Amino acid sequence: IKNGKMKKINLYTMLLIALWLGSFLSCVEDKGNNVLSEINEIKISGIEDRYDLTSYLETLNIKPEIECTLKDFSEDNLEYSWFFCRDSASTSNHSHEKISTERDLSYKVDVPPGTYTIYLQVTDKLSGLKFEKAFKLYASSRFVRGFYLYGDKADGTVGLDFVSMPVGKDTMLMKDIFINSLQVKGAKDLIFTGHYNNGYNALWAVTHDSQYAIEYSAQLEKVDIIPDKNIDDHIYTTLSSVQRPFHLTNISPGTYGPMCVSLSGEARSRLIITENEIFVGNLSLSEAYSNPINRDNANTDQLFKPYPVAFYSAAASTVSYACFFDMTNRCFKKPGHRVLSSATKCDKPSYDSESPFYFDQNKYTPVRQIVHGENGYGNNGRSCALMNDSDGNYFVYAFTAPTDYSSDPIKHYAKSIDMSVAIDFARADYYAFFSMQSIILYSVDSKLYAYDYNRNDCKLIEDFGAQITYLAMEHQSTLSPTNFVVATYSDSGGGVVRKYSIADDMNTIKVTPHEKDVWETDLKVVKVLWKYSTY
């Protein structure tokens, strides 16, 4: 047979097959009457191609529209099946489960954050034909962006809430997200460090007698203590003066900005401050720390007690150096090496004068001690320290921490607190510096005050009628130096966390409450901490 003739026969055969398939798809045989019946075709609509919901929180509600081509066809002859598929790059790993047999879907998204496929299958029970409509479900975490609220429950055990702030969605308070399988008590501090990758633990719950590594993955519905994860396991010291077990007071540098990027940058320098030690390390090598550096000589075991804040310039995107306050000898000191992570001791600044204040507080009579210190934001990296003496006098020091060993802290000013104007200042439970102006916020029992130590003006901001349990500036969530947070607690009313703004105005004290940023909790809150991390 010639090739041309063969092609014509194949073409003719294919046309016959196509005509036969078309007849089959449009009609089915009614075996009882030996006649062909028209197929009921089903069209599914009213379902979007994509749904964005929050895991462990929201419910997916869909009411599909079903259209049948046969006018007299009853929907009673339809069967519905909804299938949930866990997306996978590998076909062999694909799995799906039937989640509903109802026409309308109401599905609680109790699955880890991720991308999933859901499809509706409608079956014509008379013909057995199936029709499908698939769509994507993007389940996001409620623990990616928001504030941790850390404190004690009414029974004294530690609790954790989360103010969930998903982008483009309403803010919600997620209560009691901490399992607390060990039933630890006595909340003191919560530390979230941020990290360059997921290799180092970033969330630590500090109590009055210990500290615990906490799960922080946004994939989880609730978090718990990470078993067998201890600060002690990373410290390799030979000094007899080191006091085990260690009691964590701070990890520096902290996190910076809305995305919680670590301030330590590529150098990955990390400082761990305990009640009695300062340890330094470089995370680009490993999370390991040798002998503490809070000593005046690398050949001695004698340690000075550190104030639990590493002073550094928050004006920079990375931190390569810092300074400390020696509470034993009452003096500001800096690491004794040009590379922070290589330091083995601390040194006094190379030069000291009374203008505007001494680094060595022993040069004052009576000698001065630190009361409160913090790093500012939005003020070119200045830090502030509140000092007092045995005569009941208080002073504010403003300075910029050194960025390397060759420089000393840069002094800016020293101001006295007028105790006749600053009401009950010595009785304050908490202090917070508004770094844009010469204003210090402080709380006494249930009352919140603001004192301008330049204009010598004191103002009662509010009497909450409940004990203030936390007060601090809040820079990270919006990168605004004017925001601060106050937490209160009473046995009858529980806990309340409120956010405020203070005006950047040198002529007045003006505080404005954020009406939408008020969160009621069952906890006696001791720390409010911003988190924006997908880990």
Q: What is the pLDDT of residue 36?
A: 52
Q: Which of the listed ranges 211-225, 267-281, 377-391, 494-508 does the model predict with the highest average pLDDT?
A: 494-508
- Judge whether 139 and 169 are in contact, CB under 8 Å: no
| pLDDT tens-digit readout, 87-137 | 644 455 667 899 999 999 999 999 988 899 999 999 999 889 999 999 999
Residue 11 has pLDDT above 60, yes or no: no
Q: What is the pLDDT of residue 535?
A: 64
Residue type, 408: D
Q: Which tokens in the block code for residue 472?
A: 């601090």
Helix ranges restricted to H, 226-318: none
- List residues bridging with 106 in a β-sheet: 61
Residue type, 407: S
Q: What is the mean pLDDT of the chain?
A: 88
Q: What is the pLDDT of residue 217?
A: 83
- Judge whether 501 and 523 are in contact, CB under 8 Å: no
Q: What is the CA radius of gyration of the chain?
A: 33
**Cα–Cα distance measured from residue 41 to residue 100, given in angstroms and rounded to the nearest whole number:** 22
Query: How does DSSP classify residue 350?
Result: S
Average of pLDDT values for 14-18? 43
Work out the pLDDT band at 194, boundaries 50, 70, 90. low
Between the CA of residue 499 and those of 194, 350, 398, 513, what are the distances in Å? Answer: 23, 42, 25, 6
Residue 7 has pLDDT above 70, yes or no: no
In the chain, the N- to C-terminal Cα span, in Å, equals 70
- List residues bridging with 306 in a β-sheet: 326
Contacts of 293 (CB under 8 A, 6+ apart): 278, 279, 280, 335, 336, 343, 344, 345, 346
Average of pLDDT values for 151-171? 94
No. of helices (H) and no. of strands (E), the chain: 1, 38
Identify the three-state secondary structure at position 8. Answer: helix
| pLDDT tens-digit readout, 455-483 | 999 999 999 999 999 999 998 899 899 99
- Edge-first strand order for the sheet with 145-152 is 172-174, 158-164, 145-152, 524-532
Q: Which tokens in the block code for residue 483?
A: 């925001």
- Judge whether 424 and 444 are in contact, CB under 8 Å: yes
